[in-house]
Amino acid sequence: MERLLMKTLTTWKRGKRKNPLILYGPRHVGKTYLILDFARRNYGDIFVCHPGQEKRQAAVFKKDRDPKRIIRELEALTNQRITPGETLLFIDEIHECHEALASLENFSDEAPEYDVIAASSLLALTISQEDFSFPFEKVFTLKLPPMSFKEFLLAAGQRRLVDEIENSYRFNFPVFGQLHETALEFYRTYLQTGGMPACVDAWLRQKDFSFVQKLQEEIRDSYLEEMANYATPYKTFRTAAVYRSIPDQLKKENKKFMYTLLQEGARAKSYEFSLDWLRKSGIVICSQKVREGKRPLMAYRDLQSIKLYHGDVGILTGTGGWEKSYFLSDSEERSEIRKAVAENYVAQELSATGHVPYYWESEGKAEIDFVIQQRDSVLPISCKTSRSSKGKSFSVFLSKYALPLGIEISEKNFALEGNIRTIPLYAAFCI
């Protein structure tokens, strides 16, 4: 399956001076697969190192940070050569061995001829520890999220459809009628499979959503187990409670995260560790409220008001038990579920393309689902779950902050009316 970050890795390989690279992201997003595929395409050999699991390999890194000695001893330990330019040194789950993580600075300074890539599922949590100093200027970090909808389409052999969507977005003309319906059908399928590579692969091979749901349950359980490995039982209980509550939080009309749904009288301070762990692990996407629609958005954050989304929309629909029929029905009963899933999908797509999602509301009278900073402007984005017309929130926000454009995402085809641009849900990856 094609991952868009392969191009970035190839550019890194061709650089004259290559700092070590860390590919990070939650478990099960395909970090190891991508690195092995990259090595197969670009190197004669790959040396895979597991210092977090192999005690003898960990001991090599714990003596000192001399990269030449580390290379010699790894070679002797495994009877495998590590040749500069020909062998990729891959250190898996490097956060499990702090000494290996710290040694990357020395590889950058003293042995730049070696190509070193590491993978980590908990990098942000590790480097945030008070006793750990991370050499940001000496190490290139690259985030791998779950497969985006674009990557899903490419995996399904729909390159022509991707081209049509991107051309329509670029030139703002409608997608041909039947292709529009085809794209919407793939979008609804993606809401069920999500972007975990194993789940996408299972659906492509078997077209069996029940099997996909079993894989999603295994992934979800592995996240819960990982929480227990990094916290006390009490903190683990609270973190799991936050994680499990996301479907119920999102299907409310007001999707702001409410601690009282976890426990009567609960307060944000009691769950600070849990939210921090979930954000830094990449398992959830956090959208903070902004008080103003001005640049820089970060300066106007309301730290007490957040929305939480699953990092993968398929995990959300699997957790909520929401089948594909939910996204085809126009019933009022299921409208909030359709809205919840569509918002989670858009949050995931925005994050995958490097945007930091925020939201805005004005004294309960108007709300913008997403606000992002794009180049030199602020862009409001409204997420609709049907082909209905837009609400009043856009006009309020655009007028208040004198913005030139807003985007409404719905099942409607591409269109432009005044300063509000409509794009279909399946084109969110173009923003």
Specify whether the CB–CB gap between 80 and 106 falls below 8 A: no
Return the CATH class of domain 6-143: alpha beta
Residue 333 pLDDT level (bands cut at 50, 70, 90) = low
Q: Residue 257's closest CA among 302, 309, 307?
A: 307
Q: Is 90 exceeded by the pLDDT of residue 355? A: yes
pLDDT tens readout for residues 415-431: 999 999 999 999 999 99
pLDDT tens readout for residues 27-62: 999 999 999 999 999 999 999 999 999 999 999 999
pLDDT tens readout for residues 197-222: 999 999 999 999 999 999 999 999 99
Residues 6+ apart with CB under 8 A from 136: none
CA angle, 359 then 224 then 345, to 5°: 30
Q: Residue 90's closest CA among 133, 120, 123, 135?
A: 120
Core vs surface per residue 278-305: b (16+ CB within 10 A) or e: bbbbbbbbbbbbbeebeeebeebbeeeb
Beta bridge partners of 374: 377
Strands (E), 95-195: 115-120, 140-143
pLDDT tens readout for residues 288-328: 999 999 999 999 999 899 999 999 999 999 988 888 777 77
How many beta carbons lie within 10 A of that of residue 88, not counting itself?
23
Residue 387 pLDDT level (bands cut at 50, 70, 90) = low
Q: What does the pLDDT average to over 151-161?
A: 98
Residue 394 pLDDT level (bands cut at 50, 70, 90) = confident
Between the alpha carbon of residue 182 and those of residues 134, 156, 167, the distances in Å are 47, 13, 16
Report the pLDDT value the prediction gives residue 353, as an integer from 0 to 100: 95
Specify whether the CB–CB gap between 25 and 145 falls below 8 A: yes
Domain boundaries, the chain: 6-143, 149-430
Q: Which residue has the higher pLDDT, 138 or 365?
A: 138
Proportion of the chain above pLDDT 90, given as a percent: 84
pLDDT tens readout for residues 75-133: 999 999 999 999 999 999 999 999 999 999 999 999 999 999 999 999 999 988 767 78
Cα 59 to Cα 221: distance, rounded to the nearest angstrom: 31
